[in-house]
């Protein structure tokens, strides 16, 4: 049994979970996600047919850990994939019984000074797969907990097609962020861009809007692309032609650093092996 632990503010954690499970041809898995995603009309599109289980609505670390212990007693996971947060989003995994479970961390950039205030201790991982190299403070703090380390390449290499359209904004964030990106796109090209987004801000009635998932195949038809700098957007669009990433503030992500690093942040250190996985 494989469980993928993917709580977080948006659909990005679920999307990454599906990418990882698909990459390793894992067909049967349960993905644990944040409770507010029950209200998302787009979860079915993102979840890839995997079993979705919603965490309880609680801000108590102890209550969440108690619930997880009950679920793991029922599911008996042989492997637990943990997305991004090495002790869970509240530190709850440090209170969960995981003695008979091999834990694998899918590690990306994390705003460590903020995150560390939420946790008391990390859990020990069987393996850690880096899909983005961490900051020095994050790397040091995780030392001794990572187990075997490997590189997990989640970037998408796109074949640019003949551009038939001019400019597009692609973003799944808030209305205010979408409006900011539209204004930025207009400053680049002098024209109103198309918009690919889960929702249409009421302030943009004249824009050509579509909700497409996945969006990447459609983006290849545009001469200019404007997006936020979240991990999924960055790794999916970084090889597109003339793409502009605009970083936004996130509590636990470091979009500005990701944008500054560019492709270099997705280059593994020398001698780091490629992640491999098969169900024994």
Counting residues of the chain whose pLDDT is more than 70, the rounded percentage is: 98
List pLDDT tens digits, range 19-41.
999 999 999 999 999 999 888 87
SS3 state at 226 = strand
**Per-residue pLDDT tens for 151-197?**
999 998 776 666 778 999 999 999 999 999 999 999 999 999 999 99
Give Dmax over CA atoms of the chain in angstroms.
Answer: 59
Q: Are 48 and 23 in contact (CB under 8 A)?
A: no
Per-residue confidence at 231, pLDDT binned at 50, 70, 90? very high
> What gap in Å lies between CA 275 and CA 262, rounded to an integer?
22
DSSP bridge pairs for 127: 104, 148
82 token code pair: 């943990």
pLDDT of residue 65: 97
Q: How confident is the model at residue 239 (pLDDT cuts 50, 70, 90)?
A: confident
Look up tokens 């108690």; give the residue. Answer: 66
Number of helices (H), then strands (E), in the chain: 9, 12
Report residue 50's pLDDT band, with 50, 70 and 90 as the boundaries. Answer: very high
Look at residue 221 and tell me whether its pLDDT is greater than 80. yes
Q: What is the CATH number of domain 165-248?
A: 3.40.50
> For residue 165, what are its two tokens?
């359209």
Residues in the chain: 280
Q: Same fold for the domain at 2-151 and the one at 165-248?
A: yes
**What pLDDT does 83 receive?**
96
Phi, psi of 92 (to 5 degrees): -70, -30
The class of domain 2-151 in CATH terms is: alpha beta
Q: What digits encode the pLDDT tens for the residues 80-107?
A: 999 999 999 999 999 999 989 999 999 9
- Helices (DSSP H) in the chain: which residue ranges? 12-23, 43-46, 61-75, 112-115, 136-142, 175-189, 216-219, 231-237, 255-261
Burial label for 20, CB within 10 Å (0-12, 13-18, 19+), is buried
Q: What residue spans define the domains of the chain?
A: 2-151, 165-248
H or E stretch at 120: none
User: Rounded CA gap, 262 and 204, in Å?
Assistant: 30
The pLDDT assigned to 74 comes to 92
């Amino acid at each position: 049994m494989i469980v993928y632990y993917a709580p977080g503010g948006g659909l990005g954690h679920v999307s990454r979970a599906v990418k990882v499970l698909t990459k390793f041809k894992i067909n049967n898995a349960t993905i644990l996600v944040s409770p507010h995603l029950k209200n998302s009309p787009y979860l079915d599109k993102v979840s890839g047919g995997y079993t979705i289980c919603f965490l309880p609505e609680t801000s108590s670390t102890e209550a969440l850990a108690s619930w997880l212990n009950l679920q793991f007693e029922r599911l008996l996971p042989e492997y637990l994939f943990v997305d991004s947060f090495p002790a869970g989003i509240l530190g709850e995994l440090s209170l969960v019984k995981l003695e008979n479970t091999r834990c694998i961390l899918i590690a990306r950039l994390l705003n460590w000074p903020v995150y560390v205030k939420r946790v008391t201790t990390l859990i020990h991982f069987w393996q850690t797969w880096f899909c983005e190299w961490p900051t020095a403070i994050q790397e040091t703090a995780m030392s001794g907990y990572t187990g075997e380390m490997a590189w997990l390449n989640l970037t998408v290499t796109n074949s640019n097609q003949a551009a038939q359209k001019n400019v597009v904004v692609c973003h799944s964030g808030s209305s205010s962020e979408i409006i900011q990106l539209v204004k930025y796109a207009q400053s680049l090209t002098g024209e109103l861009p198309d918009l690919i987004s889960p929702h249409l801000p009421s302030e943009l009635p004249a824009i050509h809007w579509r909700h497409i998932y996945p969006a990447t195949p459609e983006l290849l038809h545009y001469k200019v692309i404007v997006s936020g700098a979240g991990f999924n957007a960055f790794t999916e669009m970084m090889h597109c032609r003339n793409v502009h990433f605009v970083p936004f503030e996130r509590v636990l992500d470091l979009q500005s650093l990701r944008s500054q690093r560019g492709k270099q942040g997705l280059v593994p250190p020398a001698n780091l092996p490629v992640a491999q996985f098969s169900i024994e």
